[in-house]
Structure 1
Amino acid sequence: MTSLRTRDIIALGFMTFALFIGAGNIIFPPIVAQQAGEHVWLAAFGFLITAVGLPVITIMALSRVEGSIQNLSSPLGKVASLILTIACYLTVGPLFATPRTATVSYEIGFSSYFGTSSSSLLIYSAIYFTVVMLVSLYPNKLLDTIGHFLAPLKIASLAVLGIAAFAIPSGFIPPAINNYVAAPISEGFVNGYLTMDTLGALVFGIVIIHAIHSRGVTDKKLVTKYAVIASLISGVGLTLVYLSLFKLGVGSHEAAPNAANGAIILHAYVQHAFGDIGSLFLTGMIFLACMVTAIGLTCACAEYFSELTKIPYKILVFILIGFSFIISNLGLTKLIAVSVPVLSTIYPPAIVVILLSFFWKFFNKPSHVVAPVTAVAFLFGVMDGMKVAGFDHYLPAAIEYLPLNAQNLAWLIPSSIVLIIAIIIDKVRK
């Protein structure tokens, strides 16, 4: 029975961490921190639940079902499970997350050198996705290319930024604004959606399992064990990165007052802390961070759609990269504006499926519990998505009076009530 060496286990953990740390992970904590102001650590607590806790739990859940979202969501039935799986892969793949890695890395790192014209972004994204494609064509070498080489570089650069954030004294801390005044925890919780880490974890599960298999490990218990260790290593790394970015953001008001997004804060802060050398450092760090995530997402999506459609893996890599290239040229602002309603819709049912997967063995028939709760979470997720998209005038007026509606968490209490009812019925009917 083959087992992983300690060196490979650490590399696997680094690879998992590196796959997560991409565009959203770096740009969202600073803007949350600046807007939360004096309530920054309450907002950080809520943010860490969805941006660290849920992704770690997701990898653990997937390690028990061979890394497959479809296996994880099987109690929903074949059609619903397939729809959820495809939605997750497309969202964190060619529709939103993968294109966002290119636009964010350009806007933060390269726009100050090459300008903000559409032609500059077009040339940059063409070069960027060519490199992503070349690495993605060889998924069996990911543990070597990412785990042993790119991930350590990425971690070292993030460590420099994190140490600087804590070493340089904070400036003026402004009062909280918007929803951070009254509900900083729930606002942080919902903003954690934007990192796409939980949906990313659903997709990366298969990449991590394949990386373990590439070293000859086939025993299911060992595969689960190594995946859990990798998720815990990545969870510790994510927490440290986020805490340093929150510290950076809360003290950034003087360098970037009332910033429109986290990219502006990061650029201004690094320029303030390190000067022109800092700008070059930030460019390299963001490029590396985004590229590793893009490679992981492309590999995972190509693996899944190859199994689903029987189209060869390498052809799908070309197709997915082509879509990502086209969509990335819409620009960061449009991408974020479109992705927020979609994420508000998908996250609630995804969270329900992930959490309930740990309790299947306690249900007589898991589908009779998981399916109705997920359906309710999805229904309220659609309402949240419509509200975020500005279509709330189409919703019934009674929605406004639901508990936690103002925090975009209206799905939580109805889903919990349906869960209790479904468990009682499941136990009574046997």
Structure 2
Amino acid sequence: MSVGRAAPAAPYRCDPDQSRGRRFDEPPSRHRSAFRRDCDRVIHSTAFRRLKHKTQVFIFHEGDHYRTRLTHSLEVAQIARALARQLGLDEDLTETLALAHDLGHPPFGHAGERALDACLKDHGGFDHNAQSLRVVTSLERRYPAFDGLNLTWESLEGIVKHNGPLLGRDGRPLGRYAEQGLPVGITSYNGVHDLELGSYASLEAQVAAISDDIAYNAHDIDDGLRAGLFTIADLNAVPLVADINGRIASRFPGIDEARHGAELVRELISYWIESAFSEALRRIAARAPQSVADVRNADGPLVVFNPRAAAADKEIKEFLWGRMYRHERVMRVMTEAEGIVADLFDRYSRHPEDLPPDWAAHWGEDGEEEAVRRIGNFIAGMTDLYAMTEHQRLFDSTPELR
């Protein structure tokens, strides 16, 4: 089967007609599958709209052409649907997970996350993955019968476990959670609605996760070139990019830098999609899953890059780390952004009356822990613009973040 051609529905896909359902029973839609309904709920959520003014790498007002969390999520969804179609998976569930994966990100990207994590260090810390779960299960309040979006079990599982199991067979936390344990937002919800944290997620979730990597690398190269943080020639330090650049120069002699960069990004996206697709087919053939249960109980992920593409992915991430994410200009702005978040947290902690009325209502009735977490939830939901506006309202001086 060639890349781009839709595959027949695979037996190991998530079938919306066989969904494990929702935490709160609802009558099914007459016109939409359970997963399509989930996707529509994400798109219409307040948290999704806020992604428009949340930082990817550059603060939103640094330029109209840089990615935000919203445009990033849309690009992830486009790549993920393409892969899901080729693998015979459920496209609606895949799109849901692609669009929802960053709902928990605070303002100012990873800088905001670092600052909130430090502010909440004595109260379980802050984790954007756990916050995404919190958003869709409690913080969105649009329905009369329940808090959250009441997504299907499969969508919640994919949001939490798209990067793999959170617990080992011995019940101990894995990966980045090994030292400090699972975030409280995940453990508390899992206590009332078991998401089976020790198994792999569906292939739809795995596709969404690798699509995030593809989109992230490609558009950060694009944004870094646009910002002048590095050049096309600088990128030749990565062998895969050097090969692609050579082919582009050969096919289009005299091409200008902007068009060359755009072509490079297209070539990289196509390369990684093909790599993920071919490696997934190889692993699926080797393990022969006959159901989504087989996928969850597999001894490893089934959707990954082949070794050459994985090496290129690592090399590009290392390049971007040194030349973009740790660039003096980016670091200065992010340090100032961390200060804004820390200032807001401290101010609300000492003066909860400065919170909006609906957030300050019934303050402290549930104890200190809940009060502190409420401040974290409020700040995490802010856009970059709102955080800066609030800081200007409450403090005499606010950095311009430019």
Same fold per superposition (TM over 0.5)? no
Query: TM-score with structure 2 length normalisation?
Result: 0.29
TM-score of the aligned structures, taking structure 1 as reference length: 0.28
